[in-house]
Structure 1
Amino acid sequence: MNSYRTIYEYGSDEFTEERSRFIGYAKPVKTEEEAIEFVNEIKKKHKDATHNVWAYTIGPTMNIQRYSDDGEPQGTAGIPTLEVIKKEDLRDVAVVVTRYFGGIKLGAGGLVRAYTKGAKIGLEAAGIIDRIWYQEVKIKIDYNQIGKVQNEIMNLGYFVKDTIYLEDVEFIIYSKPEDRDALVERITDITNGTAKISDGEEFYLTEKDGKIILD
């Protein structure tokens, strides 16, 4: 999988609906064990709450999906919470929506809307991001080629992780795998084949609004 959507960090937000207090929590998780641990952590934090509804998805294809209404009428809480995660196409995410009952019943439709909103605000507070697969490309050149190579890299929109100045100058570039050959071809062309180009590691990087965020 070259990319997937998830959330950046732990986040929470809350609102009040007909005197009931709803708190939405969201956290990135890598395993089902981490998701369960997070759910239990929030349940312990709000052990006096009326309900702690939760849902999570794990795996690149959302192969693990779980939810709980935690005492709310069936289909009014856990499934709406899970559906928000799925609608946003998020992987490796756990959400808990805590409710403190305020004395006024919301009805089935009202509960669905409230838990949907609770999940949304929790995810928004956590920050929805893209995880993109990148290839590290190392370009070693002579000092007299710095200007044109640097300008070309910037014009092509590649991300420069580092520039190392030793006997030669080495640029360490992040490239999407499908763009790697075009980069190599262009740098080879403008340096008349004198650039020494090698591949480094491959890994997921975080992107938000199309820009790389270094963790």
Structure 2
Amino acid sequence: MDDPAPDVARYPSTIAETFEHELVVKKSRFIAHLAPARSTEQADAVIAAVRKQYWDARHHCVAMVIGTHADQQRSSDGGEPSGTAGVPMLEVLRRRELTDLVAVVTRYFGGVKLGAGGLVRAYSSAVSEALDLVPVVQRTPAVRVSVDVPHPDAGRLQGVLRDWAAARDAQVAGVDYAANATITLLVPPARLDDLDASLAAASAGRLVAERGTTVVMEHLSGAHGDTR
């Protein structure tokens, strides 16, 4: 039996797809729109599209976190009282340790005032409930590794390396065919020595994995769920 996978460092996660969720509080509709965004320009395009779609709504409140290390953050109350919408939404994204996404919550006023506390709860709940339902992409550091394989052995070694990667939180990123078949893998740093040993065993010591740069590897998981 393989040893359990070691603990690995993680970057902030992101979401896998655009998602929309509606919450009704005292007749007011809060429509939370989540979208992946890898730049502020992409986030701004999402915000503009939501405003166009729901052009007749009074409020469009925004929170975004951008960057591999979540180093760009921005929020807007969209006309609600200061501190009652954008910042609470942003706090949800921070608490969930997410990045590269934008959240826009559109509000249709239902005729009943919620007060500052009620608005904070409604806007944060709209984002939190949406995040409970959307698929999440986890990110971890990995080393890009290439293995040159003679063509007669390529099919067998691809199978061996795919099985190895599936059991160790690694990924086969692709195969290129030239003079040899070059198999590219993304491997957690703690698994590099394991790869070397497994490759040597599978090739009678003839093949060597060439280590390259460290990159971000993405793994699709289920819905995020609350981490409070």
Give, in whole Å, the separation in 2 of the partners of 1:21 and 1:155.
Answer: 44
Report Cα offsets for 1:4-54 as digits up to 9, x if no partner: 311111111112111111100011111112112211211121121121111
Is 1:118 the counterpart of 2:126 in the alignment? yes
Give, in whole Å, the separation in 2 of the partners of 1:20 and 1:153.
Answer: 52
Matches within 5 A, 1:150-161: 150=160, 153=164, 156-157=167-168, 158-160=170-172
Give, in whole Å, the separation in 1 of the partners of 2:38 and 2:164.
Answer: 34
TM-score with structure 1 length normalisation?
0.79
| 1:111–1:74 CA distance, 2 compared to 1 (3 A) | same
| 1:29–1:19 CA distance, 2 compared to 1 (3 A) | same
Give the share of equivalent positions with the same residue, in percent.
Answer: 31
| 1:30–1:189 CA distance, 2 compared to 1 (3 A) | same
Give, in whole Å, the separation in 1 of the partners of 2:15 and 2:166.
Answer: 30
The residue type equivalent to 1:95 in the other structure is A
Match 1:206 to one of 171, 196, 218: 218
| 1:66–1:3 CA distance, 2 compared to 1 (3 A) | closer
Q: Is the 8 A contact 2:196 2:208 kept in 1?
A: no
Report Cα offsets for 1:145-180 as digits up to 9, x if no partner: 949x83972785354456799998875543223322
Displacement of 1:140 after TM fit?
Answer: 2.7
Is 1:71 the counterpart of 2:83 in the alignment? no
Match 2:32 to one of 18, 21, 24: 24
Report Cα offsets for 1:84-118 as digits up to 9, x if no partner: 11111111111000110101111222111110111
Give, in whole Å, the separation in 2 of the partners of 1:160 and 1:58.
Answer: 27
Cα RMSD, aligned residues only: 3.2
Is 1:186 the counterpart of 2:194 in the alignment? no
2:22 aligns to what SS in structure 1?
strand
Q: Is the 8 A contact 2:12 2:69 kept in 1?
A: no
1:43 aligns to what SS in structure 2?
helix
1:174 aligns to what SS in structure 2?
strand
1:209 aligns to what SS in structure 2?
strand
Give, in whole Å, the separation in 2 of the partners of 1:196 and 1:140.
Answer: 9
Higher mean Cα deviation, 89-98 or 170-179?
170-179
The residue type equivalent to 2:24 in the other structure is T
Structure 2 unaligned residues grouped into runs of 5+: 1-8, 223-228
TM-score with structure 2 length normalisation?
0.75
